[in-house]
Chains A and B, each alone.
Chain A
Amino acid sequence: AQSVTQLDSQVPVFEEAPVELRCNYSSSVSVYLFWYVQYPNQGLQLLLKYLSGSTLVESINGFEAEFNKSQTSFHLRKPSVHISDTAEYFCAVRANYGGSQGNLIFGKGTKLSVKP
């Protein structure tokens, strides 16, 4: 079975400052890793994902995440945040071993609050 731990429930940061949202996972098999974002009163949108290949993945709005297999982490970073990045961010894992149950397992979320 897989599990996800998001180490910070809330992260306040000033506009244009860098931010890191931490995510660690546990799994006995290889996994796919995802970050979803939920803006206030909206559904979840996929921000970025790691499936294979380069361990550094990027989103179109400046976020990036790096898969670190040895530390079982998939931290999300942005060098300079905007007010519009205020949202809740969810890290998620899904087994990628053939035949394994492929349900998406979520962390509890991190609320990013960007202040002017």
Chain B
Amino acid sequence: NAGVTQTPKFQVLKTGQSMTLQCAQDMNHEYMSWYRQDPGMGLRLIHYSVGAGITDQGEVPNGYNVSRSTTEDFPLRLLSAAPSQTSVYFCASSYSWLAGAQPNTDTQYFGPGTRLTVL
């Protein structure tokens, strides 16, 4: 298994440009999520999905869109990039989002991250 993969690893955008960060997992996980990591802020949840066709907002969703057309893929779209979106973005997945699911399948697995700079 490749686990959770993210592309690209690095990206530089100009203000106002749009782009899509790709995330894929090959573990047949129901739950996928996107976080952003900023210095001193830890990881903050942007959007998440509990299954194909189902998405919801996290703590910091503004400026980002997601879709989940397949179980494997969960792309994150920046509609009009702003310097405040300069960050490291992590995708994660786990077997299930439901509390009370079998505990051994509850661990979230993280991708290697995408470092995004918006000028």
Asked if B100 contacts A109 (CB within 8 A), the reply is: no
Q: Which among B58, B90, B111, B112 is the interface contact of A103 at CB below 8 angstroms?
A: B58
Q: Please, could you name 7 A-B residue pairs with CB atoms under 8 Å apart, sorted by A?
A: A9-B40, A43-B90, A45-B110, A90-B42, A95-B99, A101-B99, A104-B33
User: Residue on A with the closest CB to B35?
Assistant: A106
Contact surface of A with B, Cβ cutoff 8 Å: 6, 9, 29, 32, 34, 36, 42-46, 49, 51-52, 90, 94-109
Docked Cα-Cα span, A74 to B106, in Å, equals 18
Q: List, in ascending order, chain B residues with CB within 8 A of A107's CB.
A: 42
The interface size bin for chain B is: 20 to 34
A102 to B, closest residue via Cβ = B97
**Given A43-B90, A102-B99, also A108-B110 (CB < 8 A):** no
**B91 — nearest CB in chain A belongs to which residue?**
A43
Cβ-based interface call for B2 (8 A): no
**Are A43 and B111 closer than 8 Å at their CB atoms?**
yes
Whether B42 and A102, one on each chain, are in contact in the complex, defined by CB atoms closer than 8 angstroms, is: no
Contact, CB under 8 Å: A108 / B40: yes
Tell me if A96 and B99 are in contact (CB < 8 A): yes
In whole angstroms, what is the CA distance A105 to B100 when docked?
17
Q: Considering only CB atoms, which chain A residue lies closest to B96 in the complex? A: A102
Tell me the minimal C-beta distance from A41 to chain B in angstroms: 9
Please tell me if the beta carbons of A43 and B113 are within 8 angstroms of each other in the complex. Answer: yes
